[in-house]
């Protein structure tokens, strides 16, 4: 069966939470993206009808909307496959099959098909900050949001005081690249124009391209204060409707901000973050940004593209150390005693999963992958933002 996203809220037991929440956003007349949701059982005729309706809006995004994700207790962040930049009927058929097959556990399966937003800036907003219940948090990057949510880039961060709307910002001058939509073929070295500046294509990536961010863009914030406050007002509308704090993915093209998805925040929100003085002068301590509280110690397992993932498939307890997190690492995150990465943000999938599991997580720990080796013993004190090298 297939249903328009605008009408999907009428079939909550068929379409999954992500499609249901998106339908609610559309019916609240918030700036969300319409499209279709297809659920089992379906036929090729269903896909043909959808393609006829959406082919003038390519490229498309094909996302999961499974029964066990985006609930009040489990986000399923990064667990299922997303396929971006779908441009042909054959690619749509393959993408739908790929997303459905990424769920081998639940019986309620559905997939969303939407036009992609040509994002100049994208990000995530928590209407209640993970560690400060009196604030909201926003993280943002240039381009599409995939690198941010998967933990493959360090975002800019904004904290909004809920009472005064005062914004505290943290600029990331090291945002050297972003993932950008490629409507038309773009050769290596060619540039795409945005209202922030031009970004140069340095690598093709699954129908999109990795763009080099010029210094002028790196030296300025992705969002101005009015845009941050506007995002927060949209988030408040969703929080009021659903009755709980929301985890929201959003995008901004050259014209407007659009909401991509919303779901409940799945962890208990702290009223305050423990204060600490970093021990940055000690040679045996590395500091990072707190993504999930807790303290533990154990043996290091470093994971990266050059190490077969089968290396992680034993029963030994470990602390997962990586330069970045990727969707294919999600299974191993759930088995780790703690997670430590060199880059990433506090609202990425690894951070969300860590808070759900109640395990310590630090991001932005510069030099961790070159400071430890496989099997080394370390202490992760995420209450103080420290990794102690033993």
- pLDDT score at 380: 94
In this predicted structure, what is the pLDDT of residue 72? 63
Domain that holds residue 178: 121-230
Calpha distance 47→350 (Å, rounded) = 33
The answer to whether residue 193 sits within a structural domain is: yes
Question: In this structure, are 110 and 209 located in the same domain?
Answer: no
Residues of the chain with pLDDT under 50: 276-280
Is residue 256 one of the residues assigned to a domain? Answer: no
Yes or no: say if 274 and 46 are a contact pair by the CB < 8 Å rule: no
Q: Tell me, what's the pLDDT at 282? A: 56
Q: State whether 382 and 289 are in the same domain.
A: yes
Q: What CATH number did the domain enclosing 356 receive? A: 3.50.30.10
Q: For residue 327, tell me if it sits in a domain.
A: yes
Handedness of CA 152, 157, 162, 165 (dihedral sign): negative
SS3 content of the chain, % helix, strand, coil (to 5): 25, 30, 45
**Are both 297 and 383 inside the same structural domain?**
yes
Same domain, 125 and 226: yes
- Measured CA to CA, the distance from residue 365 to residue 184 in angstroms comes to 38
* Locus of tokens 């986000």: 75
- Helix, strand or coil for residue 69? coil
pLDDT at 306: 72
pLDDT at 308: 61
Q: Which of 185, 209, 230 is the last residue of a domain?
A: 230
Looking at the structure, do residues 154 and 50 belong to the same domain, yes or no?
no
Does 248 fall in a domain? no
Domain boundary among 165, 195, 230: 230
| Number of domains making up the chain | 3
Instruction: Please indicate, yes or no, if residue 238 is contained in any of the structural domains.
Output: no
- Verify that 62 and 85 share a domain, yes or no: yes
């Amino acid at each position: 069966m297939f249903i328009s996203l605008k009408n999907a809220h009428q079939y909550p037991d068929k379409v999954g939470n992500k499609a249901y929440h998106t339908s609610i956003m559309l019916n609240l007349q918030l700036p969300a993206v319409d499209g279709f949701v297809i659920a089992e059982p379906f036929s090729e005729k269903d896909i043909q009808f959808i393609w006829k309706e959406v082919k003038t809006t390519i490229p498309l995004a094909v996302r999961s909307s499974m029964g066990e994700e985006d609930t009040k207790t489990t986000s399923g962040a990064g667990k299922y496959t997303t396929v971006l930049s779908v441009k042909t009927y054959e690619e749509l058929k393959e993408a739908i099959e790929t997303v459905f097959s990424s769920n081998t556990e639940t019986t309620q399966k559905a997939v969303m098909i939407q036009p992609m937003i040509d994002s100049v800036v994208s990000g995530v907003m928590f209407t209640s900050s993970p560690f400060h219940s009196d604030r909201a948090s926003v993280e943002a990057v240039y381009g599409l949001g995939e690198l941010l949510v998967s933990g493959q880039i360090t975002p800019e961060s904004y904290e909004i005081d809920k009472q005064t709307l005062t914004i505290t910002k943290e600029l990331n001058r090291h945002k050297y690249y972003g993932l950008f939509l490629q409507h038309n073929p773009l050769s290596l070295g060619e540039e795409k124009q945005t209202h922030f500046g031009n970004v140069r294509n340095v690598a093709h990536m699954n129908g999109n391209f990795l763009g080099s961010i010029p210094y002028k863009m790196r030296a300025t914030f992705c969002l101005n204060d009015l845009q941050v406050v506007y995002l927060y007002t949209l988030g408040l509308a969703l929080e009021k409707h659903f009755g709980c704090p929301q985890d929201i993915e959003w995008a901004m093209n050259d014209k407007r901000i659009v909401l991509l998805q919303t779901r409940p925040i799945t962890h208990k929100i702290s009223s305050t973050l423990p204060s600490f003085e970093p021990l940055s002068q000690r040679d045996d301590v590395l500091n990072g940004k707190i993504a999930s509280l807790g303290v533990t110690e154990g043996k290091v397992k470093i994971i990266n593209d050059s190490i077969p993932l089968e290396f992680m498939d034993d029963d030994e307890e470990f602390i997962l150390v990586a330069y970045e997190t990727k969707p294919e690492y999600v299974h191993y995150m759930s088995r780790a005693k703690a997670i430590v990465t060199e880059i990433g943000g506090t609202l990425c999938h690894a951070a969300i999963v860590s808070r759900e599991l109640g395990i310590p997580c630090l991001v932005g720990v510069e030099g961790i992958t070159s400071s430890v080796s496989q099997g080394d013993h370390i202490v992760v004190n995420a209450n103080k933002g420290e990794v102690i090298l033993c």
